[in-house]
Amino acid sequence: MNQFKAGEAPEAAHGHSDLQMELAEVIRQRAAISAVLRAIASSPHNLQPVFDTILDSARRLSRADSGVFRLMEEAGLRLVASKVSPTVLEEFSPPPKLVGPGSFYDRLIATKLPFHIPDVAAHELYRAGEPLAVTQVKRGFRTLLFVPMLRNEELIGSLSFARQHVEHFTEKEIELVTDFAAQATIALEIVRREQQYRQLQMALAHANRIATIGQLTASIAHELKQPLAAVAIDGGAALRWLAKQPPDNDKARGSVEHMIKDADRATRIIGGLRDLTNQNAPRAEVVDLKEAIDEVIVLTYSEAVKSGVTVSTRVLPELPRVQGDRVQLQQVMLNLIVNAIQAMSGTLEGPRELQISVDPSEGGVRVGVRDTGPGLSSESLSRLFEPFYTTKPEGMGMGLSICRSIIQAHGGRLWAIACEPQGALFQFTIPAP
Ligand SMILES: Nc1ncnc2c1ncn2[C@@H]1O[C@H](COP(=O)(O)OP(=O)(O)OP(=O)(O)O)[C@@H](O)[C@H]1O
Ligand SMILES: [Mg+2]
């Protein structure tokens, strides 16, 4: 059903081409913002590629020759990315790192609105000899556009663009790039917030490790005393074998070998402690889970003995390799083991057994920490992993919530079940890479 009358068709065709142009612009804008999102996804820890992509996309949208991206700081607007046309001679100085008062940016700061300078050479700042304006003209830049980046009405940065000849930015171009700047600001804010959140989580995890190790100090000191005392005893024995007439070198060598083993053991305990107390950026490395867990068992062994707990481990051979942050995984084990020992030290009768198991599961591994303590009520089962949930007078209630976020960051799951006839079982999985 064709409803066009004669004479309407050209208008309709005109409308059609307007629509097509509009559509083309929407597509360009979408492409620009998805380039930024892609940069964020592929570089979540480093913002520089994100800054570069924002600037490059915005420059293309505005069809400018050159562009500069600045972010607001206490001291002024700091340059975070710049893209200068290759036809600009190298000998001209690069854009200033920080711009303070007295430049074109004053107006942006005051109005927080985009502004356009059709020809810098005709602008009063140029005529007044303002250095930035003079440099622009010297570089051959004539038409400029400044676009604000706003977060809740607050100026957080700016995108500025230049053309090497006098050619006005059209209203459409200004609108496109202003919309894009608003979207890029939101994307950037999300990344910045996520980075802050991650840093906070790391600081929290570190504080939790220090606090847990703090609870174990007496036991660790006791654990260290044993190998050191053994070194002294073996040293005395070695001297006696050597003092014999004739000296018994074989026996002396045997004593010295014992000394070396004991010293190694003490070194390993201290090394494990140092790893756990240092604050390092998370790493993704191949972790020998058995070895990592053994180190934690050594650190907690005296605490278990002090509380009358017997520890047994069952690690199946031929485990798949897992990848992750060794120290963080040790922190999870440390929290689960300390929780289990603390739970059992309150029980009046019955065995106090801690069983640690590592099995292959679903292409990765599953680790279990089982105790014979009072077990888990339905109230605690539903709240265990909440931050600050604790039933201990000295507890912070952060242990399990941190463990869960560590395991989730490794792509695994952590959960708890009540055991029959008594006790609790905590299990976590780590998928193989
Ligand atoms: N093995 C367990 N048996 C029984 N209850 C447990 C066990 N592990 C944890 N819980 C319960 O879960 C609560 C939360 O544990 P979580 O490790 O998060 O904090 P916390 O041990 O109380 O304090 P901290 O921050 O020092 O670890 C504990 O207070 C306890 O009530
Ligand atoms: Mg705990």
Is residue 225 included in any domain, yes or no? no
Choose from 197-201, 206-210, 413-417 the range with maximum mean pLDDT.
413-417
Neighbour-count burial of 282, counting CB atoms closer than 10 A to its CB (0-12 exposed, 13-18 middle, 19+ buried): middle
At 81 the pLDDT is 95
CA 419 to chain centre: 36
Shared domain for 320 and 173, answered yes or no, is: no
- Higher local confidence (pLDDT), 405 or 93: 405
At 411 the pLDDT is 93
Alpha-carbon distance values, 129 to 45, 91, 119, 136, 250 (Å): 41, 20, 15, 11, 90
Terminal C-alpha separation, the chain: 60
Question: What is the average pLDDT across 229-246?
Answer: 95
Q: Check pLDDT > 70 for residue 89.
A: no
Q: Could you tell which of 206, 307, 331, 339 is best to mutate to test the pocket of ligand 1, judged by most ligand atoms within 8 Å of the CB? A: 339
Shared domain for 187 and 314, answered yes or no, is: no
**What is the Cβ-side half-sphere exposure of residue 289, based on CA atoms within 13 angstroms?**
30
Is residue 255 included in any domain, yes or no? no
- Higher local confidence (pLDDT), 143 or 195: 143
Question: What is the average pLDDT across 392-399?
Answer: 91
Separation of alpha carbons 404 and 386, rounded Å: 10
Is residue 162 included in any domain, yes or no? yes
Is residue 282 included in any domain, yes or no? no
Q: Check pLDDT > 60 for residue 2.
A: no
Q: How many CB atoms lie within 10 A of CB 108?
A: 22
What ligand has the least distance to the C-alpha of 371? Answer: 1
Separation of alpha carbons 80 and 156, rounded Å: 12
As beta bridge partners, residue 82 has 68
At 170 the pLDDT is 93
Is residue 115 included in any domain, yes or no? yes
Alpha-carbon distance values, 414 to 16, 226, 266, 377 (Å): 57, 35, 32, 18
- The contacts of residue 363 (CB under 8 Å, 6+ apart) are 320, 431, 432
Measured in angstroms, how far is the CA atom of residue 45 from the centroid of ligand 2? 30
Measured in angstroms, how far is the CA atom of residue 312 from the centroid of ligand 1? 21
* Nearest atom (ligand 1) to Cα of 396: 25
Is residue 95 included in any domain, yes or no? yes
Q: What is the mean pLDDT of the chain?
A: 89
What ligand has the least distance to the C-alpha of 425? Answer: 1
| Among 172, 141, 144, CA closest to 159 | 144
* Nearest atom (ligand 1) to Cα of 339: 8
Please tell me the least confidently modeled range out of 146-155, 189-198, 254-263: 189-198
- Residue 4 pLDDT level (bands cut at 50, 70, 90): very low
At 177 the pLDDT is 94
Strand ranges in 215-263 using DSSP code E only, listed in sequence order: none
Question: What is the average pLDDT across 342-355?
Answer: 91
| Residues framing ligand 1 (Cβ under 6 A) | 335, 339-340, 343, 371, 373, 376, 380, 384, 389-392, 395-401, 424
Give the domain range for residue 364: 307-433
Q: What is the pLDDT of residues 299-324, one digit of tens each?
A: 999 999 999 999 999 988 888 889 99
* Nearest atom (ligand 1) to Cα of 398: 25
Is residue 144 included in any domain, yes or no? yes
* Nearest atom (ligand 1) to Cα of 340: 1
Residue nearest to atom 7 of ligand 1 (CA): 339
Q: Check pLDDT > 50 for residue 144.
A: yes
Separation of alpha carbons 198 and 408, rounded Å: 13
**Tell me, what DSSP letter sits at residue 362?**
T
Of 172, 197, 222, the last residue of a domain is: 197
Measured in angstroms, how far is the CA atom of residue 216 from the centroid of ligand 2? 12
Shared domain for 174 and 317, answered yes or no, is: no
The CATH code of the domain that includes 407 is: 3.30.565.10
Measured in angstroms, how far is the CA atom of residue 428 from the centroid of ligand 2? 16
Q: Would you state the structure tokens that stand for residue 199, as one six-digit string?
A: 């840093």
Shared domain for 181 and 34, answered yes or no, is: yes
* Nearest atom (ligand 1) to Cα of 395: 23
Please tell me the least confidently modeled range out of 6-20, 244-258, 328-342: 6-20
Is residue 193 included in any domain, yes or no? yes
At 131 the pLDDT is 83
Measured in angstroms, how far is the CA atom of residue 355 from the centroid of ligand 1? 17
Measured in angstroms, how far is the CA atom of residue 213 from the centroid of ligand 1? 15
CA 162 to chain centre: 36
At 382 the pLDDT is 94
- Total domains, the chain: 2
At 88 the pLDDT is 67
Percent of the chain, pLDDT > 90?
A: 63
DSSP 115-130: EEES-GGGSHHHHTT-
At 237 the pLDDT is 95
**3-state SS assignment for residue 28:** helix
Question: What is the average pLDDT across 182-211?
Answer: 90
Q: Check pLDDT > 90 for residue 284.
A: no
The CATH code of the domain that includes 146 is: 3.30.450.40
The residue type at 127: R
Of 197, 229, 253, the last residue of a domain is: 197
Question: What is the average pLDDT across 356-370?
Answer: 93
Measured in angstroms, how far is the CA atom of residue 402 from the centroid of ligand 2? 10
Q: Check pLDDT > 90 for residue 428.
A: yes
Alpha-carbon distance values, 274 to 207, 271, 294 (Å): 14, 5, 16
At 93 the pLDDT is 65
* Lookup result for tokens 């603390």: 342
Separation of alpha carbons 370 and 309, rounded Å: 12
Please tell me the least confidently modeled range out of 5-19, 24-38, 126-140, 240-254: 5-19
Separation of alpha carbons 29 and 35, rounded Å: 10
At 181 the pLDDT is 95
Separation of alpha carbons 384 and 359, rounded Å: 24
* 229 phi and psi angles, rounded to 5 deg: -65, -40
Separation of alpha carbons 284 and 410, rounded Å: 9
Q: Could you tell which of 377, 381, 384 is best to mutate to test the pocket of ligand 1, judged by most ligand atoms within 8 Å of the CB? A: 384
Contact 260, 230 (CB under 8 A): no
Measured in angstroms, how far is the CA atom of residue 420 from the centroid of ligand 2? 22
Please tell me the least confidently modeled range out of 17-31, 58-72, 163-177: 17-31
Question: What is the average pLDDT across 59-84?
Answer: 92
Of 197, 212, 242, the last residue of a domain is: 197
| Among 370, 383, 364, CA closest to 433 | 364
Separation of alpha carbons 254 and 238, rounded Å: 8
Please write down the HEC assignment for all residues of 381-410: HHHCCCCCCCCCCCCCCCHHHHHHHHHHHC
